[in-house]
Structure 1
Amino acid sequence: MTIHNTAALAAFLLAMGVAHAAAAPRLIPDHDAMGVYRISQPGKPTQTWRVRYLAASERVRAVSLSGQAAGTAILLDLASGAANVVLPQMHAVVAVPGLSAMMQKVMDNRGAHFTRLGQATIAGRACTRYLVLKPKGDGSACITPGGVVLQATGKNDHGSVAVQALSITNAPQQAAAFTPPAGYSSITLPPQMLAQLLGG
């Protein structure tokens, strides 16, 4: 998995909120939610992902809606740290043990300083805008009172990424959607091949 793919994955996971930070706004939704997000990185095709969050078990499901990764799903169990990539074109599931640790490293908010910038409306939802300054990077975010990030940008030595919600729905999510499909084979792929399948 390249750093560019890691940053992009971290960006849309941040959009549904997978990190806590002291003295920061709530960054994990307090309810089930589903959103469609646009992810932009300089020099890379824009990506669109549908991200679902299951509050009861802190699980995330993200499905690519565009590009060569279309149909690929990423499943994260935030409580256990388990991460799987579902590849429908191969009828297979790839466990990615290091993905959660990579996400936490990219999204670590220790030392982050949040400054309120005012209110905004994104995808029809009200959110509070923040400037986010970190020791090794900076960015911004617009976060709803319920903890859903509607917009986020980030920049560090590895590059920059921007995430924008195109639509958001607060609705109960089915637990079965957050587990690998029955009948899929468990396989192992080299990191470079997995990155290619994810559009990197």
Structure 2
Amino acid sequence: MRRPLLAALLSLCALPALAQDRPALYPTRDVAVTYRITGSQARQAGPMQSLTIAWLAAAQTMRMDMAGIGYMIADHRNQRGFMVVEQARMIMDVPMQQALQQYGPTESATYRRTGTDTVAGIACTVWSFEDRGNNGTACVTNEGVMLRAQGGSQGQSGGMEATQVAFGAQDPARFARPQGYQSMQVPGGGQMPMGRPPAGAVTK
């Protein structure tokens, strides 16, 4: 499955929509959500069975923290993304389309409202979606916070479900490009595997 997880992070490019029957995919206020990984994605993730996604709402920027690996930033306003491997002090630019695959359905998806649910103690609306060969469901709050996403394609399935939601101001410095890190690139335009830099990645 390429959506709605990390192959997920992090997505979701739609402004809160009023004219169409579809979910708001940007949070309207700062929030940090911890998710557990489910389905086949959990097996692919290995030891990384959870992740945290924080939103700097005013800047429309998402940060996905992957325990023991690093983090990914998806800047929707400026259409750019990057991944930071902290232990190796390396940074890799990620095509925005790939960064968006790390989180959930995008504005190009078609949606159908199917009901309501409660996840992590918070009410959300359940939507079924189809997005370029990927299909599934997502439970999204009225404030644009995705609490659960499930789906898949090509025989793979998985998803993510919120276990903790914390609203509160986020530090903009945590969403900025770090200084003093070595640049890394993917040879031949390869795709980044879920939760780790690609094999054969080279530095420059």
Alignment: residue pair count: 188
For residues 152-196 of structure 1, what are the alpha-carbon distances to aligned partners after superposition, in whole Å with 9 as ceiling and x for unaligned?
Answer: 112223622211001011111011000122322223243669538
Distance in 2, matches of 1:11 and 1:189, equals: 18
Structure 1 unmatched ranges of 5 or more: none
Percent identical: 25
Any idea what SS the aligned residue of 1:56 has? helix
Structure with the largest fraction of helix:
1
Corresponding residue number in structure 2 for 1:39 = 37
2:60 to 58, 61, 82: 58
Corresponding residue number in structure 2 for 1:79 = 77
Equivalent pair of 1:35/1:165 in contact (CA under 8 Å): yes
Distance in 2, matches of 1:26 and 1:196, equals: 25
Q: Say whether 1:177 aligns with 2:174.
A: yes
Runs of 4+ in 1 over 6 A off after TM superposition: none
Relative distance call for 1:182 and 1:149 in structure 2 (3 A) is same
CA-based RMSD of the aligned residues comes to: 2.9
Distance in 2, matches of 1:188 and 1:80, equals: 20
Q: Say whether 1:147 aligns with 2:147.
A: no
Distance in 2, matches of 1:9 and 1:76, equals: 12
TM-score, normalised to structure 1's length? Answer: 0.78
Equivalent pair of 1:86/1:93 in contact (CA under 8 Å): yes
Structure 2 unmatched ranges of 5 or more: 199-204
1:188 to 185, 188, 194: 185
Equivalent pair of 1:114/1:133 in contact (CA under 8 Å): no
Q: Say whether 1:93 aligns with 2:91.
A: yes
TM-score, normalised to structure 2's length? Answer: 0.77
